[in-house]
Amino acid sequence: MEWVIATNNKGKLAEFARILEALGLRAVSQREAGVCLEVEETGKTFEENAYLKAAAAAKASGRPAVADDSGLEVDALGGLPGVYTARYAGEHATDGQNIDKLLAALGDLPEDQRGARFVSAICCVLPDGRSFTVRGECEGRIGFARAGEGGFGYDPVFFVGERSFAQLSAAEKDACSHRGKALRAFAARLREQNWEQTAAD
C-alpha cells in the first residue's frame, strides 16, 4: 500500500521512505502522487501542523496521507524554537543560519544546561476523513559546535551521548530518533485499527 508523504523536505522524505519500507509500507512523495502543496503551518502545536498537512495531501491526492511536524525544543530557551524550528532564523532561513542563531542564543552555557529534545508528531489521514496522530521524542543536548557531515537540519549540533545525529549512520539514527519512534508507533497503530486493509479498499 502506498502512502503519500506530505512534505517537500528531501531529508524527511528519505527518512520516511527508509523507515516505512522496513515496516512493509511504501512511501511516495507528493510530486509522485501528482500533488503540489505548500500548506501554511498555522497550528500552535506539532500535532496541529501535522494534521493540516496530512489532511490537505489526502484531499488533494485521494489517497492515504501521512505528515510529520517536528522540531527542536531547547530547555534553556523555554522550549524554543519549537514549532518555529525550520524558520527560527527567519522565514527562508537555511539550516546553517538556524544553527548559528541557536548556538549564539545558548552562548557559553555549560553542558548540563544545554538539554534539548527532538519531537515528531505524525498524523495519518485517510481520504474518508479518519485520522490519528502519534508522537515520538528523543532526548539529547545541544553541542558547542557542529560535528559530523550526515543528516540535515540541526543534526550537527544535536548530541545523543557522545555523538551528534550527523555522526550516526542512518540505521543508528532511525533506531533512536524522534521520527523513527513516531513512525514505529504509527505502524503499530495502523495495524491495531486494521487501517492498512481499509485504506487499500
Render pLDDT for 20-57 as a digit per residue (tens, 0 to 9): 787 778 888 888 888 877 888 888 999 999 999 999 99
Number of domains forming the structure of the chain: 1
Render pLDDT for 143-172 as a digit per residue (tens, 0 to 9): 999 999 998 999 999 999 999 999 999 899
Residue 195 has pLDDT above 80, yes or no: no
The residues that are catalytic are 69
Render pLDDT for 51-83 as a digit per residue (tens, 0 to 9): 999 999 999 999 999 999 999 999 999 999 999
CATH number at residue 136: 3.90.950.10
| Helix (H), strand (E), coil (C) string for the chain | CEEEECCCCHHHHHHHHHHHHHCCCEEEECCCCCCCCCCCCCCCCHHHHHHHHHHHHHHHHCCCEEEEEEEEEEHHHCCCEHHHHHHCCCCCCCHHHHHHHHHHHHCCCCHHHCEEEEEEEEEEECCCCCEEEEEEEEEEEECCCCCCCCCCCCHHHEEECCEEHHHCCHHHHHHHCHHHHHHHHHHHHHHHCCHHHHHHC
- Domain residues for the domain of 75 are 2-200
Reading the block at residue 169, the C-alpha cell is 549512520
Over residues 100-109, mean pLDDT = 98
Q: Which of 2-11, 157-166, 176-185 has the lowest mean pLDDT?
A: 2-11
